[in-house]
């Protein structure tokens, strides 16, 4: 199956307690595509960059099976840039700069092939642009997922709710789930959010794992405890990419397969945070992905006879 992914392709400058990097490759769409590429290789990327974006980075994506027909390269333009600094505990960060640059004029036009991708991952963007992408799809999609953030809840809640109503799977973090629903309990928040339209809700809790809700059922995927978390940037997008890549590869939409997709996403995210930028994601192979999925099996596996 094929996967359409839309979102930012960008530069990041990042400071963590482990070091500092300037203008490295980032962006939701970049992380989603690299992560998904370990499961399948028919990926259509729709985004916008400036002429300053490195050609070899684009070539590397193409080598992973990522079709860039939907990537607009603006002559003389500058790519989206984000700078942030993580605090000591890595759980919070300050945004130091957000330069929209070419993203300010992003008007996504889907190439013909992208319109019929069975699986769609709408990365975090202005809700109206996410809606504009949905408008161009040919209606043959099997699963459409959407990621968003609190920023859009603050300034464009109505547009956001309108686009949430049109997707099958929503991924947000715990604080965003509380903001979107007005409920503190994630169980109650999930009930309210699922009533907004999506069939599946995945609540990301960072180092505390991810919770999936579907028709009154729950599944929990922990984050793998790591000796060192080097840089959390892109972990949520890497999670989404692994999840959607696994779903597109297996082409089965069921609660049982969604569970596996959550584990696949968590495995990819656990690699992502081990180095800055896409450094770790770029050096993986399938055997390493499988090893990490096995680590999750061990972390969660137990057998409990109930005849005591």
List interacting residues with its own copies (CB under 8 A). Answer: 39, 88-89, 184-188, 205, 208-209, 211, 217-220, 222, 225-229, 249-250, 256, 259-260, 263, 290, 293-294, 296-300, 302-304, 306, 308
Is 138 or 208 the residue whose CB approaches its own copies more closely?
208
Listed in sequence order, the residues at least 6 apart from 197 whose beta carbon sits closer than 8 Å to its beta carbon are: 164, 165, 166, 167
Contacts 24+ apart (CB under 8 A), 86-94: 86/14, 86/15, 86/16, 86/17, 86/231, 86/232, 88/17, 90/16, 90/17, 90/207, 90/229, 90/232, 91/206, 91/207
Q: Are 241 and 262 in contact (CB under 8 A)?
A: no
User: Nearest distance from residue 259's CB to its own copies, in Å?
Assistant: 4
User: Nearest distance from residue 132's CB to its own copies, in Å?
Assistant: 34
CA distances from 153 to 80, 149, 160 (A): 21, 7, 7
The two beta strands, 66-74 and 3-6, are: unpaired
Rg of the chain's alpha carbons, rounded to an integer?
A: 18
User: Nearest distance from residue 165's CB to its own copies, in Å?
Assistant: 24
Is 89 or 92 the residue whose CB approaches its own copies more closely?
89
User: Nearest distance from residue 143's CB to its own copies, in Å?
Assistant: 18
Is 76 or 182 the residue whose CB approaches its own copies more closely?
182
Taking the C-alpha atoms of residue 31 and residue 8, their distance in angstroms, rounded to an integer, is 9
User: Nearest distance from residue 269's CB to its own copies, in Å?
Assistant: 15
User: Which token pair is 43?
Assistant: 């990926």
Is 55 or 227 the residue whose CB approaches its own copies more closely?
227
Is 81 or 246 the residue whose CB approaches its own copies more closely?
246
Is 111 or 222 the residue whose CB approaches its own copies more closely?
222
Taking the C-alpha atoms of residue 46 and residue 67, their distance in angstroms, rounded to an integer, is 9
User: Nearest distance from residue 243's CB to its own copies, in Å?
Assistant: 13
User: Nearest distance from residue 251's CB to its own copies, in Å?
Assistant: 12
Is 102 or 229 the residue whose CB approaches its own copies more closely?
229
Listed in sequence order, the residues at least 6 apart from 106 whose beta carbon sits closer than 8 Å to its beta carbon are: 47, 48, 72, 125, 129
26 in helix, strand or coil? strand
């Amino acid at each position: 199956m094929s996967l359409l992914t839309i979102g930012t392709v960008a530069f990041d400058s990042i400071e963590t307690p482990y070091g500092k990097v300037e203008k490295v490759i980032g962006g939701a769409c970049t992380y989603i595509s690299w992560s998904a590429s370990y499961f399948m290789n028919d990926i259509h990327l729709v985004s916008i960059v400036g002429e300053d974006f490195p050609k070899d980075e684009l070539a590397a994506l193409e080598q992973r099976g990522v079709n860039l027909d939907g990537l607009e390269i603006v002559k003389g333009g500058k790519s989206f840039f984000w700078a942030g600094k993580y605090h000591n505990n890595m759980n919070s960060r300050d945004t130091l700069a957000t330069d929209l640059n070419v993203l300010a004029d992003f008007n996504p036009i889907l190439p013909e092939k992208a319109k019929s991708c069975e699986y769609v991952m709408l990365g975090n963007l202005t809700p109206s642009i996410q809606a504009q992408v949905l408008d161009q799809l040919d209606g043959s999609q099997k699963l459409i997922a959407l990621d968003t953030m609190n920023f859009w809840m603050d300034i464009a809640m109505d547009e956001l709710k309108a686009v949430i109503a049109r997707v099958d799977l929503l991924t947000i973090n715990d604080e965003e789930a509380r903001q979107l629903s007005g409920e503190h309990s994630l169980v109650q928040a999930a009930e309210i959010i699922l009533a907004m339209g999506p069939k599946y809700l995945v609540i990301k809790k960072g180092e505390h794992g991810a919770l999936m809700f579907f028709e009154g059922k729950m599944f929990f995927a922990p984050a793998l405890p790591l000796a060192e978390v080097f840089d959390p940037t892109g972990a949520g997008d890497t999670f989404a990419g692994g999840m959607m890549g696994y779903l597109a590869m297996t082409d089965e939409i069921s609660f049982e397969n969604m569970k596996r997709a959550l584990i696949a996403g968590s495995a990819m995210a656990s690699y992502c945070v081990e180095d800055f930028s896409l450094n770790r994601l770029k050096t993986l192979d399938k055997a390493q992905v499988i090893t990490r999925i096995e680590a999750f099996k061990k972390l969660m596996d137990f057998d409990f006879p109930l005849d005591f």
